[in-house]
Amino acid sequence: MKRNVLPGLPLSLGITLFYVGLIVVLPLAALVFKAASLGPSEYWAIVSSPRAVASYRVTVLSALVATAFNLVFGLALAWVLVRYRFPGRRIVDAIVDLPFALPTAVAGIALTTLFASNGWFGTLLAPFGIKVAYTPLGIMVAMCFTSLPFIVRTVQPVLEDLDPALEEAAQSLGGSDSAIFLRVILPLLMPALLAGLSLSFARSLGEFGAIIFIAGNQPMETEITALLAFIRLEEYDYQAAAAIASVLLITAFLMLAATNLLQARALRYTARS
């Protein structure tokens, strides 16, 4: 067996474990500990209360709609950026990252101002009876904004590396454009698409800053789960805050597991081709 000759393992691993332990593991352990200190029946009563369940419904439904929108829009955007050349393409490519770079609170007040009934878009939508700000639709818009880059950025590199020979072969066999897209290109993009999808969905479930400004925050209607945990804290109901935060934590872990699984698959796929 080859002996590793490089120095610095104790120091670098020591720093890493100390940092991860202190910054990441300790707080999460404390949260789990706090939530577990509630009895099972008490815990269940908090996490299954009508207000909590309503918040899950709003959060999950909005995240699903936002992710579905971004699936189509993100894929189209990645396609346009990779396959077409047009003036301003590089600016569009750069600006896709804005939702990552723009602080969520800033995005929140900007989107609220745009979609409020007297805002630029709000006044245009009002004649059709569409209200965005302070309704579930507003939550979806905010989620669309914050999770937009995920699908674009996971699909884009795969689309760039797509072998043109595959399409040419399909064309020479007489496949129509739509058939080639659906049966040759889309299956190749699928692992990246799924990985981006799970990242985008996870981000939407946990988003807070951009949403609370535009949501209206009415209990049972437009109150997301993260906000409910925050409200319980402000009411000094720490046990309820811990219980609801633990639900978000468990969901995040499930999403993380799903993402890792999908990413491992995506990597295996690209490595093979």
Partner 1 sequence: MTPTRRKPPRVGDGPIIRRVLIGATLFFGAILVLAPLIVIAVEAFSQGLKVYAATIAHPDTGHAIYLTVATALIAVPANTAFGLAAAWAITKFDFWGRRVLLVVIEIPFSISPIVAGVAYLFVYGLQGLFGPMLESADIKILFALPGIVLASMFVTAPFVARELIPLMQAQGRDLEEAATSLGASGWRIFFSVTLPNVKWALLYGVVLCNARVMGEFGAVSVVSGNIRGQTNTLPLHIELLYHDYQAAGAFAAASILATLAVVTILAKVGLERRGAGRRPALGSAAKEQNTGTRT
Applying the rule CB under 8 A, the residues between 193 and 252 that interact with partner 1 are 199, 202-203, 205-209, 213, 226-227, 229-230, 233, 238, 241-242, 245, 248-249, 252
* Span near partner 1 by CB under 8 A; candidates 49-57, 132-140, 178-186, 214-222: 178-186
Site string for partner 1, 134-173 (x = CB under 8 A): -------x--xx--x--------xx-xx--x--xx--x--
CB of 117 to partner 1, least distance (A): 15
Judged by CB under 8 A, the chain residues 10 through 39 that form the site for partner 1 are 11-13, 15-17, 19-20, 23-28, 30-31, 33-34
CB of 38 to partner 1, least distance (A): 12
Question: Which amino acid makes up residue 203?
Answer: R
Residue entry with tokens 């295996």:
268
Judged by CB under 8 A, the chain residues 93 through 112 that form the site for partner 1 are 94-107, 109-111
Nearer to partner 1, 111 or 193 (CB): 111
SS3 annotation, the chain? CCCCCCCCHHHHHHHHHHHHHHHHHHHHHHHHHHHHCCCHHHHHHHHCCHHHHHHHHHHHHHHHHHHHHHHHHHHHHHHHHHHCCCCCHHHHHHHCCHHHHCCHHHHHHHHHHHHCCCCHHHHHHHHHCCCCCCCHHHHHHHHHHHHHHHHHHHHHHHHHCCCHHHHHHHHHCCCCHHHHHHHHHHHHHHHHHHHHHHHHHHHHHHCCHHHHHHHCCCCCCCCCHHHHHHHHHHCCCHHHHHHHHHHHHHHHHHHHHHHHHHHHHHHHHHHHC
CB of 199 to partner 1, least distance (A): 8
CB of 99 to partner 1, least distance (A): 7
Of positions 113, 125, 190, 221, contacts partner 1 by CB under 8 A: 113
Check if the beta carbon of residue 248 is closer than 8 Å to that of residue 264.
no
CB of 135 to partner 1, least distance (A): 17
Judged by CB under 8 A, the chain residues 52 through 71 that form the site for partner 1 are none
Nearer to partner 1, 53 or 257 (CB): 257
Judged by CB under 8 A, the chain residues 68 through 87 that form the site for partner 1 are 73, 76-77, 79-80, 83-84, 86
CB of 207 to partner 1, least distance (A): 7
The number of angstroms, rounded, from the C-alpha of 62 to the middle of its chain's C-alpha atoms is 12
Q: Taking CB under 8 A as the rule, does residue 114 contact partner 1?
A: yes
